[in-house]
Chain A
Amino acid sequence: MDFKNILLFDSLSKLVGTFIIFFTAVIFIYSLGFIKSKKLEYYFWFFLTSIVSLGVVFSANLIYIVIFWGFLGMSLFKLVNLYSYTDKDIARAAKKSFIIVGGSDGFLLFGFLIYSYITASTLVAGNIILINTPLSLLSFIFIAIGCFAKAGCMPFHIWVPEVAEKASIPVVAYLPASLDKLLGIYLLARIVKDFFVLNDIAKIILLVAGGLTVICAVMMALIQHNAKKLLGYHAVSQVGYMVLGISCGSPLGLAAGLFHMVNNAIYKSCLFLNIGNVEKSSGTVELEKLGGLGKFMPITFLTTLIASLSISGIPPLNGFISKWMVYQGLIDFMNSAGSLTLKFTIALSLVFALIGSGLTLASFLKLNAGIFLGNPEKEVKEAGKLLLFTPVILSLLCLIFGIFAYSTILKFIQKSAGSFVEIGLWQPQLATYLIIAGLVLGLIIFSIMKKKVRTSASFIGGEELLPTEEVKIGDFYNAIKEMPLLKNIYKFAEEKIFDIYELLKKFAFIIIRFLRYLHNGILSTYLVWCLIGAIGLFFYLFK
């Protein structure tokens, strides 16, 4: 039997497959400490997810991919819906995600259909076609919609924040934060690498989707008060960078997108799991009700801080290096771009991507300061060892993949994306030594000049501080919410004008209302319709 047409073991699928296994392992360890009820069902769907994900990555045939992909939508629904007996909103979030993801599976199937019609083959690798006919463009767009919905790129992102807010934490860290990103971006990278040669229109579609995703999602994240929902919007916003990287179509851009995919899965699941620890210890994730936990949960604080700095792209952590590669890919792409429109689109998405990273930093400052700094309301306990293990491992990876990127992970990524030359310069190890040298220099100055160090209470206007005088960190960005123009956009967003699910729902209701109007159950109405129909037929046949 020839396995070539069934299984595909190239470097791209090996890379993604390795990380699927890695995340299944570490989140399984976390789940052992977290999941207390419905264990059997949870672990069944958990491992089924990992198996079908590996199936998607390693299959060499489009039909297998579609089948496994469909299973993923179902297991997502089941895992989110598992605890819906505690809260009705969970069921609603599960339904929403199932409709969005399942609906996009239809697009994916249709896209594959057109693609195999053009190439007369259902194999994954080996048939690269130009996007030169409307049919091939349509096929590309439909497959991209499937990827976007799975990874959570705009405008198919709306299920991600809702699932992040409602579902239980290991599920969120496992599916929307890591595995769904890996799979969605895997397929997108695969079609850009092995299915299509992108033309300008396809590239502009990806650029616009990526740039808007970065900036819009992060603006929404900025004003959230619920830590889980805030992270959910960031899970959307980071996808933008990956899409931007892949949109370049060059090996450098592809490598940047894949590297960012890996990094994002690492720090995002670390953040979600830490928020899970916070929720377990203090019973809430509302930023207003939290504060001062850094004293009681030092390890959680440290790992959250590392992951937050990493997602904000602070050098020398891993989030910085992959974002920086995305920028390089875009700049390289801009240099080789022919038309002025394309150049301007790239420049604008570059600006959006850079700005998005500043906004990410701002919202994570709010998250960290809101949860871990400030005045504690009550004493809480640090999470158990089993719950801390995974965040510690993941935050260590943030450091290793940042400082030693070129000698570790980037070698594998280079294999799967093709060889590339970077146009910029970044020496993470040297930079780390310099930062440490600066710290040592500072400490030397500090100890030479050392005078007394003492602790004293804070005073405001000569009076000792009262806890009631605290400023609420959750309201940091209210001024931004009240800016002209932005005020209106936020109002629209709160009314769910941009929510594709709500729009579809409205559209469906309009059709249903019309059908209801026709089917009112009165015999004479039906007879009138029959008569009109008969007259119409009569005229058509005998004209």
Chain B
Amino acid sequence: MKALFNYLIFPGFIFSLVIGGMGWWLERKFTARFQYRVGPPWYQTFLDILKLFLKETIIPGGASKILFILSPLLTFSAVLMFNLMLTENYFLDKSFVGDILVMLYLLIIPSLFIILGASSSRNPLALVGASRETKLMLSYEFIFIISLVIIIIKSNGNLMLADILNNQINRGMYLKSASGTIGFILALFYIQAKLGIVPFDAAEAEQEIMSGTAIEYSGPLLGFYRIAKTLLYFSLPLFVIALFGQIAINNPLHKYSAFVIEYVLILLLISVIKNINPRLRIKEILGFFWFFLFPLGILGIILAIKGL
């Protein structure tokens, strides 16, 4: 019963969805303020999702039906599990299901099924989107791998998130060291690209290829993708905060208010990057990630090994 409560309400599905929805709204609100608009009300994200579930589902003719329907559901399910692993560690101080390498691999599943679902729809624009998404995946996953390796070196080979949190509470957050800062920068760009926010939104480019990977999705199936993305809006910043910026206080109230402040700051950074950059082309994205951030990450690894 308790497990079911943890899974569905706190700290699982409903809790994460509410926080993630608020986070997404906050990011939209920031963007609106950048553009001198008022911005949507705080419940806008939830209305968007609800609307999708009230619409009918359209399946494109000639699509591979089972894969087309299963892809959003599996994406949702994998993201939900990732969320649960993270929040159980963070809010309940419990090691659950897997370590940070497992989390890294679970985070690949959403991208994988977005690509497979898009390819199964047989729409050329969806295929263009899928092709772009694979290349994006190759760029952002690489630098996140490096930032995780930096964490692993800094924590002396500890893979459990709970231990990494404790390690930071005892010895100060990793963000303070030089290699930790580099790792954080890489992780920030990872969030930006993973959530498909400008300048890394080439796979979904609305004006250009009409939402690319999502072009054929409608109704509840699109809704599941939207829910997964909302959950990621909560869990990705939480993951990065837990890895790099755990503040050394044990009082839960202070800990959570510190989390809220850091969460808002990360969202602010993301929307600043979003609003001062245009959409990049795939080659520019690959070049930026592989030839700029990747060597930076290798430098970070060297610093981390030297103990800086």
Contacts and interface: CB of A to CB of B under 8 A. Distances in A.
Contact of B60 (A332, A456, A473): A456
B146 interface: yes
A442 interface: yes
A430 B124 contact: no
Contact of B78 (A324, A361, A438, A458): A438
Contacts of B306: 340
Interface in B173-203: none
B216 to A, nearest CB: 6
B47 interface: no
A465 B305 CA distance: 55
Contact of A465 (B73, B77, B124, B287): B124
Interface stretch (B29-37, B38-46, B51-59, B266-274): B51-59
Contact of A424 (B80, B135, B160, B291): B160
B105 A315 contact: yes
A457 B60 contact: yes
Q: How large is the interface on A (under 10, 10 to 19, 20 to 34, 35 or more residues)?
A: 35 or more
A426 B56 contact: no
Nearest to B281: A479
A262 B146 CA distance: 28
Given A443-B73, A483-B287, A347 B301 contact: yes
B101 A327 contact: yes
A483 to B, nearest CB: 6
Interface in A267-302: 292, 294-295
Interface string B2-20: 0000011000010000000
A484 to B, nearest CB: 8
Given A425-B99, A480-B135, A358 B108 contact: yes
Interface in A333-365: 334-335, 340, 343-344, 347-348, 350-351, 354-355, 358-359, 361-362, 365
A455 B130 contact: no
A106 interface: no
B56 A455 contact: no
Interface in A406-456: 423-427, 430-431, 434-439, 441-443, 445-446, 449-456
Nearest to B128: A471
A437 B7 contact: yes
Interface in B218-242: 219-220, 224
Contacts of A358: 108, 137-138, 141-142, 145
A460 B123 contact: yes
Report the interface size class on chain B: 35 or more
Interface stretch (A12-20, A145-153, A366-374, A525-533): A366-374
Q: Which among B80, B106, B152, B157 has the highest number of chain A CB atoms within 10 Å?
A: B157
B246 interface: no
Interface string B131-159: 10011011001100110110011001111
Interface in B155-170: 156-160
A470 interface: yes
Contacts of A373: 64, 67, 116, 119-120, 122
B111 to A, nearest CB: 9
Contacts of B220: 445-446, 449-451
A324 B220 CA distance: 35
A182 to B, nearest CB: 26
A454 B74 contact: no
B78 A365 contact: no
B258 interface: no
Contact of A423 (B8, B121, B128, B157): B157
Contacts of B125: 460
Contact of A431 (B57, B61, B81, B157): B81
Contact of B149 (A350, A425, A434, A445): A350
Interface string A457-489: 110100001000111010111011011110000
Given A457-B61, A469-B124, A471-B124, A354 B145 contact: yes
B214 interface: no
A435 B78 contact: yes
Nearest to B285: A479
Given A374-B119, A426-B99, A445-B53, A473 B127 contact: yes
B119 A369 contact: yes
Contact of B153 (A294, A309, A347): A347
B98 A458 contact: no
B187 to A, nearest CB: 15
B255 interface: no
B102 interface: yes
Interface string B279-303: 0001100110011000000100110
A369 B59 contact: no
Contacts of A327: 101
Contacts of B265: none
Contacts of B224: 442
A374 B291 CA distance: 33
A456 B134 contact: no
Given A427-B98, A442-B73, A294 B59 contact: no
A258 B212 CA distance: 42
Contacts of A334: 153, 157
Contacts of A310: none
Interface centre among B55, B56, B64 (most CB of A within 10 A): B64
26 contacts: A315-B105, A350-B149, A354-B148, A358-B145, A361-B112, A365-B115, A365-B119, A369-B115, A375-B62, A424-B101, A425-B99, A425-B159, A431-B98, A431-B102, A434-B80, A434-B84, A435-B77, A443-B73, A453-B58, A453-B59, A455-B60, A460-B125, A473-B131, A479-B283, A479-B286, A484-B291
Closest 10 A/B residue pairs (Cβ): A438-B77, A424-B99, A335-B157, A369-B119, A471-B127, A452-B56, A424-B159, A449-B53, A442-B73, A354-B145
Given A373-B67, A437-B7, 6 more contacts: A328-B159, A334-B153, A423-B157, A431-B102, A443-B73, A451-B220
